[in-house]
Chain A
Amino acid sequence: MTFWGVVGAFGTRRAYLKKDMDTSNAGYIGSMIGAATGPVGLIALWLKTPETRKSLLVVPPIAAFALLAISFAFADPSNSCVTNGSFVASQISNGIILGILYGFMALGLTLIYSILGVVSFAHGDFYMIGGMAAYYVTMVWFPGVNPLFGIGFACVSTFILGAVFERIFLTPMYDGRIDRPVEYGILVTFGLAFTLQYFIAATVGSNPVKAKRYFDFPRLHWPSKEDPWLLKTRRGGLELFDTITISNPRFTAAVVCIIVLLMLLYFLHRTWTGKALRAVSLDREAAAITGINPNRMNMLAFALGGMLAALAGALLVQAFSWLPQVGAIPAMRSFVIIVLGGLGSLPGAFVGGIIVGLVESAGTGCIPDPQKAASYIPAYGGIVLLLTLLLRPTGLFGRRFSGGSHGKFG
C-alpha cells in the first residue's frame, strides 16, 4: 500500500506532465489512488488522466483510509478497536472532544499566520501561560474565586502580552527594514518562547501544578433514575448511552471552546474590526486603501491568536498537570493542524484539529502495545505534517501555495 502510494505520487505527476495538464494536485491524487487501489487504479488514472475534480480529491483518501482500517481489522481481529463497539464509540467521542480543543488552539496560530504571515513558535508558551495564570488566580491568589475570573485573567494578560510583544518586536517586519520577514518572525517568536518558558520555570519552579475542577456537574439521570441509558452524570464526568464517558474538565473545555468559537465567528463576520481583519488577510494592500490600518490589525491578530491559545490552556489546566514545558507538545500539534488544514485557513484549522484528535485517539486506543503507542504520538503528527507538505502543501482548505510570496509586506 505504501509502495503503490509512493509510485502513485511520482508517476502521476509524470503522467499529467506528459499530457500537459495541471499537476498541482497530481501527486496527491496519485498517491491516494495508489494507496487505495494499488496498480489497477493507478494504470487507469494514468491512461485517463481525468481533470482535477472535487470528487477525485475527496474519495481516494477516504478509500485509502477505509482500506487501512479494514486491513488493520483483519490483521488483528482480537483488538478491542475491532471487537468492542462501545470502546470505539468512546474513543471517537474522546477524539472529537480533544479535536475541538486542538482545533481551537490551532485557530489562534492560523489567525496569526493569515494576517502576519508568521508561524508563531511561541504559541505553545501562550498556552502554558494561560494555564499558569488561571491556576494562580483560582488556586493561589484568590482561592475559591469563580473560575471565570481565572479564565478572564488568563485571556487579558496574554492579550496584553501578545500586543506588547507585537509592538516591540514584530513592527520592523512591516516596513521592509528586514530582508526576510518570515524567518525573522520565526526566530523572534522562538526567542519569546524560550524566554517565557524559562521565566515561568524560574519564577514558578518546575513542580507540576493543577487547578481544581472548575465546576461540578449536577447529578442527572435521564430518562429515568433506574435506567439512565441516555445520560448519567457524576460530579466529575458524564456518561452517554451507557458507553461513552467524558470527563468533566474536557467536556467543560470543549463547550466553552465552542461558545468562544461562535463568538469569534460573530466577531469576524459581523463587526467592523472583524471584517477588517478578514480583509487584511485576503489582501493587505487593498485593505489598506479602504482605510484599514493593517499594522493595527497585525497587533490585534497576534494578541488575539495568543489569547486563544491561552484560553485553551486556562481551560485545560483543570484536566492536566501543568509544567513550564507543557506547551511543547500542543505547539507541535498546532503546527501539524494548521498545515493539514491549510496555512491561514480558519475552518481548516478546526477541521484539521478534529482529524488530528481522531487520529491520535485511534492511535492510542488501537495500537496493541500501549507504551509504544503513547511514545509514537508525536510521530503520527510528524507524519501527517510531512505527507501534507509533500503531497498537498496548500492543505485541506489552503489558498496560498507554499512557494508564493506570503509574508511579504508592501
Chain B
Amino acid sequence: MINLVVKDLKKNFGGLHVLKGVSFEINGPELIGLIGPNGAGKTTLTNVLDGAIKPNSGTVYLGGNRIDQLQPFEVARHGLGRTFQVTRSFRRMTVLENLMVPALALDQGLSRSEIDDKAMEVLEFLTVEHLRNEYAKSLSGGQQKLLELGRLLMLNPDVIILDEPFAGVHPKLMEIIYKYIERVNNDGTAIILISHQMDSIFSLCKRLLVLNYGDLIADGTPDVVKNDPTVIEAYLGSDDEED
C-alpha cells in the first residue's frame, strides 16, 4: 500500500522561507495536482521530497521509511521518482542505455534480457521504439520528454512527481503523455503532477494541492479548490503583483 506522509516541512534559503510547514498525505495510487503561482515553492517541495535538498525541519515517510534525510539515489530506491522541469536526458547515451540506468541502479535481480524486454515494452508504449539505438541528443525535445518519462517507469516507483510535463509540448505528444499518466496511475502508482495548465490538471486530477508562498492553502477535489476563496485570492492577488 502506497503511503507518503509529509509532515510540517520547512525550508529556508537564507532569510527566505520557501516552505513554511507543508503537510499532506497520499494514500494509495492517487493522481494529485500540485498547483500554485510562480515562486510558490513547488519545485523546492519536489527537491526536498526527492532528497536533493535537505529540509530545515519536518519529516517525510514513504511506506513507513523516513526518507527526508536520505540522498537522492536512496530516495529513488525507496520508490520515489521525479522528472525535472527542464528535460534532462543523458544526451550522449542511446535511448536504450538511458532506460538501462535506473533499471540497473535499482538492482532488482533482473537479468539483462529481462531488462531489455521491459525497456522495449516501455519504448513501444511511448511510441519511440524505433529510436532505441539512437543517441538521446538526436531526439526531438518532445521525444526527450517521453524518454524521461520512460526512465521513470524503469524505476518501478510507488510515487512519481512530474514537474511541468506539458510545458512546450504539441497536442499529439500531449495525448501520449495523458495516456502515460493514466496508465501509470492505473498500474498502481501515485502521481503528483505539477503544471500551470489548469485544464489538464482539472481534467486529470481528482485531488489538488495548492501552494502559495510556502503555505499549503488548499487540499481537496478540484471543485472544492476552484471555489476556495483563499485560492482565488492567491491567484488573482499574485496576478496583480506580477502585472
Contacts and interface: CB of A to CB of B under 8 A. Distances in A.
A–B direct contact (CB < 8 Å): yes
Interface in B45-59: 54-57
B92 A179 contact: yes
B213 to A, nearest CB: 20
Given A179-B91, A179-B92, A179-B137, A20 B14 contact: no
B92 A20 contact: no
Interface string B154-188: 00000000000000000000000000000000000
Interface string A136-169: 0000000000000000000000000000000000
Contacts, number: 9
Interface string A1-42: 000000000000000010010100000000000000000000
B14 A22 contact: yes
Contacts of B54: 17, 20
Contacts of B91: 179
Main secondary structure of the interface of A (DSSP, over half): loop
B137 A20 contact: no
Q: How large is the interface on B (under 10, 10 to 19, 20 to 34, 35 or more residues)?
A: under 10
Contacts of A17: 54
A49 to B, nearest CB: 13
Q: Which of A17, A20, A179 has the most CB of B within 10 A?
A: A20
B135 to A, nearest CB: 10
Contacts of B57: 20
Nearest to A180: B92
Nearest to A19: B56
Nearest to B55: A20
A20 B57 CA distance: 8
Contacts of A20: 54-57
Q: How large is the interface on A (under 10, 10 to 19, 20 to 34, 35 or more residues)?
A: under 10
A22 B53 CA distance: 12
Interface string A253-283: 0000000000000000000000000000000
Contacts of B14: 22
Contacts of A22: 14
Interface string B80-111: 00000000000110000000000000000000
B53 to A, nearest CB: 11
Contacts of B55: 20
Interface string B22-64: 0000000000000000000000000000000011110000000
A54 B143 CA distance: 48
B157 to A, nearest CB: 26
A179 B93 CA distance: 12
Nearest to B13: A22
B55 to A, nearest CB: 8
Contacts of B137: 179
Nearest to B92: A179
A308 B179 CA distance: 59
A19 to B, nearest CB: 9
Contacts of A179: 91-92, 137
A17 B69 CA distance: 11
B41 to A, nearest CB: 17
A17 B56 CA distance: 9
A184 to B, nearest CB: 13
B13 to A, nearest CB: 8
A20 to B, nearest CB: 4
A20 B91 CA distance: 35
A62 B50 CA distance: 40
A83 B27 CA distance: 77
A153 to B, nearest CB: 45
A17 B137 CA distance: 38
Interface string B197-215: 0000000000000000000
A269 B54 CA distance: 41
B100 to A, nearest CB: 20
A22 B54 CA distance: 11
Contacts of B92: 179
Nearest to A21: B56
Interface in A148-200: 179
A43 to B, nearest CB: 24
A17 B92 CA distance: 36
A244 to B, nearest CB: 46
A17 to B, nearest CB: 8
A179 B14 CA distance: 34
A216 to B, nearest CB: 57
Nearest to B137: A179
A179 B138 CA distance: 12
A119 B55 CA distance: 35
B122 to A, nearest CB: 25
A179 B92 CA distance: 8
Interface in A307-358: none
A22 B56 CA distance: 10
Contacts of B56: 20
B47 to A, nearest CB: 14
A179 B90 CA distance: 11
A399 to B, nearest CB: 15
A54 to B, nearest CB: 14
A205 B57 CA distance: 67
A22 B92 CA distance: 35
Nearest to A52: B14
B69 to A, nearest CB: 10
B75 to A, nearest CB: 18
A64 B20 CA distance: 39
A20 B56 CA distance: 5
Given A20-B54, A20-B57, A179-B91, 6 more contacts: A17-B54, A20-B55, A20-B56, A22-B14, A179-B92, A179-B137
9 contacts: A17-B54, A20-B54, A20-B55, A20-B56, A20-B57, A22-B14, A179-B91, A179-B92, A179-B137
7 closest A-B pairs by beta carbon, nearest first, are A20-B56, A179-B92, A179-B91, A20-B57, A22-B14, A179-B137, A17-B54
